Amino acid sequence: MKLKPTLILVVSITLFFSCTSPDKKARPETSTTTISKTSPDSLFTKYQLDRITLPAGFKISVFAEVPNARSMCWGAKGTLFIGNRDEDKVYAVKDTDNDGVADERYIISEKLNKPNGVAFRNGSLYVAEINRILRFDNIENKLESPPAYTVVYDKFPDKEHHGWKFIAFGPDDKLYVPVGAPCNVCDEKDSIYASITRMNPDGTGLEIFAKGIRNSVGFAWHPDTKEMWFTDNGRDNLGDDIPNCELNHAPRKGMHFGFPYCHEGDILDPEFGKGKNCADYTAPAQKMGPHVAPLGMRFYTGKMFPAEYQKQIFIAQHGSWNRTQPIGYRVMVAKLDSAGKVINYGPFAMGWLGENNKVTGRPVDVEIAPDGALLVSDDSRGAIYRISYNK
Ligand SMILES: [Ca+2]
């Protein structure tokens, strides 16, 4: 491990209210901070990364400290953007000297409503709150003095239950936005619930892409087929061992993945499944284990990892909150064959759930860094880890 000191420079910005056009909102009133210097070794110790087990040749380190780090996306100029769920900010970090440790950190916006999702397109950062999509233009040239945001869309439901959103642009240049079920299990009349929607980048043309999805907090498109894959969190209160959380494959618009009628492809819901048939819905491509809480996922397209990981799916599992024996708290890999079937599903990074069920971290999202390292966000510790490979 390199012993270069880390310079975490937190840039101070103070911005003032400005009112321009009807869809331009107040600038963030962001203020101040600190400059701290922490060595990679002491960060490794602070986050107890000695507990983490990885396949041979891989190692883990701390890339950045970011409070309540949730979903991540890269800008075009090497900026990593990070959303919040339990806090109200959107952050950006940069590793300007390419040593695998972020050395600049910025607050892009604050006082937002669970800004969990971030996506980047043509120089603009898109942020998903509970009921709105916001856009920050030319953002990488304005990190120290972020612009006011433009409201792209503000008609999503305002219910908080499963209301925080992962977002991403698809190969069709549409912004994909999930709308979770506002409950543990329910059959809402408004068909926008329990769906993944998509819209044009300007907020027009909203349509439902897929239905029957309880709460997806992560999706990505296969680099060759351009088909969508997504994670979905199974319902609670059917016991410790059912239903499984799901990895799903949605190659076309209009598919229904079962919720709330059928869970994990083969379990009818005791209440909402009456008179239904699981064969009428699309079963998961992979059952991921009960209550594991799969969130972010990405296809590996970097150059750093061994060939066996190329175009395979890394999946962050946040971990169970109500299972007798906790499960999850790890990064998994699902491997696909050339026909797109999952042929292997197993652990990649483990150890955040330790002896006596001691939890030292909760993976939320994964992202491939420009150098091919795998970043893992952890909202519980406020950190982003970097998993790298050396032969
Ligand atoms: Ca650096």
CATH number of the domain bearing residue 31: 2.120.10.30
Q: Using the mean position of ligand 1's atoms as its centre, give its distance from the Cα of residue 266 in Å.
A: 48
pLDDT of residue 38: 83
Q: Is residue 324 part of a domain?
A: yes
Q: What is the mean pLDDT of residues 122-131?
A: 98
| Of 11-15, 102-106, 124-128, 280-284, the least confident | 11-15
Q: Using the mean position of ligand 1's atoms as its centre, give its distance from the Cα of residue 237 in Å.
A: 45
Q: What is the mean pLDDT of residues 276-296?
A: 98
Q: Is residue 240 part of a domain?
A: yes
Q: Using the mean position of ligand 1's atoms as its centre, give its distance from the Cα of residue 99 in Å.
A: 5
Q: Using the mean position of ligand 1's atoms as its centre, give its distance from the Cα of residue 105 in Å.
A: 11
- The Cα–Cα gap between 28 and 110 comes to 6
Q: Is residue 1 part of a domain?
A: no
Q: Is residue 340 part of a domain?
A: yes
Q: Using the mean position of ligand 1's atoms as its centre, give its distance from the Cα of residue 168 in Å.
A: 26
Asked if residue 169 lies in contact with residue 121, where contact means CB atoms within 8 angstroms, the answer is yes
Q: What is the mean pLDDT of residues 40-64?
A: 97
Q: How far apart are the first and last CA of the chain?
A: 14
Q: Using the mean position of ligand 1's atoms as its centre, give its distance from the Cα of residue 275 in Å.
A: 58
The CA radius of gyration of the chain, in Å to the nearest whole number, is: 20
Q: Using the mean position of ligand 1's atoms as its centre, give its distance from the Cα of residue 4 in Å.
A: 9
pLDDT over 50 (residue 327):
yes
Q: Is residue 266 part of a domain?
A: yes
Q: Using the mean position of ligand 1's atoms as its centre, give its distance from the Cα of residue 144 in Å.
A: 18
Q: Using the mean position of ligand 1's atoms as its centre, give its distance from the Cα of residue 138 in Å.
A: 23
- The Cα–Cα gap between 282 and 114 comes to 30
Q: What is the mean pLDDT of residues 293-319?
A: 98
Q: Using the mean position of ligand 1's atoms as its centre, give its distance from the Cα of residue 118 in Å.
A: 22
Q: Which residue has the tokens 């390419």?
A: 98
Question: Smallest Cα–Cα separation from 183: which of 211, 157, 162, 208?
Answer: 162
Q: Using the mean position of ligand 1's atoms as its centre, give its distance from the Cα of residue 12 in Å.
A: 19
Q: Using the mean position of ligand 1's atoms as its centre, give its distance from the Cα of residue 295 in Å.
A: 27
**pLDDT tens digits, 350-371:** 999 999 999 999 999 999 999 9
- The Cα–Cα gap between 168 and 386 comes to 21
Domain that holds residue 332: 6-389
Q: Using the mean position of ligand 1's atoms as its centre, give its distance from the Cα of residue 63 in Å.
A: 8
pLDDT of residue 295: 98
**pLDDT tens digits, 9-48:** 333 333 333 333 334 444 444 433 433 568 999 999 999 9
Total domains in the fold of the chain:
1
Q: Using the mean position of ligand 1's atoms as its centre, give its distance from the Cα of residue 95 in Å.
A: 4
**pLDDT tens digits, 176-225:** 999 999 999 999 999 999 999 999 999 999 999 999 999 999 999 999 99
Q: Using the mean position of ligand 1's atoms as its centre, give its distance from the Cα of residue 100 in Å.
A: 6
> Length of the chain in residues, anyone?
391
Q: Is residue 136 part of a domain?
A: yes
Q: Using the mean position of ligand 1's atoms as its centre, give its distance from the Cα of residue 219 in Å.
A: 29
pLDDT of residue 391: 79
Q: Using the mean position of ligand 1's atoms as its centre, give its distance from the Cα of residue 13 in Å.
A: 21
pLDDT of residue 36: 58
Q: Using the mean position of ligand 1's atoms as its centre, give its distance from the Cα of residue 123 in Å.
A: 23
Q: Using the mean position of ligand 1's atoms as its centre, give its distance from the Cα of residue 93 in Å.
A: 10
Write the DSSP string, 165-233: ---EE-TTSPEEEEE--SSSS---SSTTTTEEEEE-TTS---EEEEE--S----EEE-TTT--EEEEEP
Q: Using the mean position of ligand 1's atoms as its centre, give its distance from the Cα of residue 296 in Å.
A: 25
Q: Using the mean position of ligand 1's atoms as its centre, give its distance from the Cα of residue 7 in Å.
A: 8
Q: What is the mean pLDDT of residues 308-317?
A: 98
Q: Using the mean position of ligand 1's atoms as its centre, give its distance from the Cα of residue 370 in Å.
A: 13
Q: Look at residue 324 and give its three-state secondary structure.
A: coil
Specify the pTM. Answer: 0.92
pLDDT of residue 357: 95
